[in-house]
Amino acid sequence: MRELASYEVDVVSGGSIDGAISGIMDGLATGAVVGGSASKSDGLGLGIIAQGVGMVVGGVGGAILGGIKGLLYGKEETSAWLQDFRENFGTSNK
């Protein structure tokens, strides 16, 4: 059995380091925006603290998930997934 070239591995697996880096950056931005906007003020002036924590936690979580998905599935799949998340976040049939 022969060894696969790096190009063949990328084509077969779909993921790459480029996809991971792109996923980290896109996930960081998406997570920070969503985490900050998902926090609500309770009227006691603590809303800004909640938004700050939400931005940090959302940004870190988004970077981790985006990086893993980019490494496994590639840049295009990860970008489409995060774009769909940004478009549909907060929309529901109430």
Above 60 in pLDDT, residue 94?
no
- 35 contacts 54 by C-beta, under 8 angstroms: yes
Residue type, 78: T
Distances (CA, A) of 82 to 25, 55, 91, 93: 11, 16, 15, 21
- The model's pLDDT over 2-39, given as tens digits with 9 standing for 90+, comes to 887 776 666 665 677 888 999 999 999 999 988 877 77
- Residue at token pair 């002036």: 45
Scored b (16 or more CB within 10 A) or e, 51-90 reads beebbeebbebbbebbbbbbbbbbbebbbebbeebeeeee
**Chain segment 45-87, per-residue pLDDT in tens:** 777 888 888 899 999 999 999 999 999 888 888 999 999 988 8
- 93/34: higher pLDDT: 34
Tell me if 35 sits within 8 A of 60, measured CB to CB: no
Confidence band, pLDDT 50/70/90 cuts, at residue 92: low
Q: 82 with 31: CB under 8 angstroms?
A: no
DSSP single-letter state for residue 33: H
- Identify the pLDDT of residue 43: 65
